[in-house]
Amino acid sequence: MARNSHVRLPKNPFNKLIAFVILSLCGGTVAAFLPGRVISVADGDTIVVLASNGERQKIRLYGVDCPESEQAGGKAAARFTSSLVLFANVKVQKMDTDRYDRTVAIVALDDGRILNEELVENGHAWVYPAYCNTARCAYWQTLEAKAKADRIGLWRDKRPMPPWQWRRYHPR
């Protein structure tokens, strides 16, 4: 991601503050959505994309955490992700690289929907509080609260265990 060094801030002090906050939340960068095709789904929040340059990229979805495959709701999350993106064209916005060298990204579907949001909205993922730190995350938290209130997906259970807790009790 290239640093956007030629951003002009407004002259009005209030608007300048708003622009500064927005740029700070974005890290002062302009992140491009790179095209690709999903060639496999590892689990609800991990996919493999064949980029337009022929490179395979393992993508971990930014800001969300689906139940693990062995955990209640894990297989449903993987099926949901597959139903939306398997063999589909997507656009990948890289946010980071994780400790497993996966690209951490926001994934946009051809119709403009965001896979990360769809998982949360349909009750197949939690917003991952330790790793969701952009302004978008607040909106995702409202989607999570609605899914929980509507008792859809993993929220059908009274007290589903977040995957980050489940992994502590079930190390690989």
Q: Which residues are catalytic?
A: 60, 68, 102
Q: What is the largest CA-CA distance in the chain?
A: 55
Tokens 């095709």 belong to 37
Q: Please state the separation of Cα 36 from the chain's center in Å.
A: 16
Tokens 């609605």 belong to 146
DSSP assignments along 143-156, one per residue? HHHHHHHHT-GGGG
**At 135, which helix (H) or strand (E)?**
none
Angle at alpha carbon of residue 148, lines to 45 and 118, rounded to 5°: 35
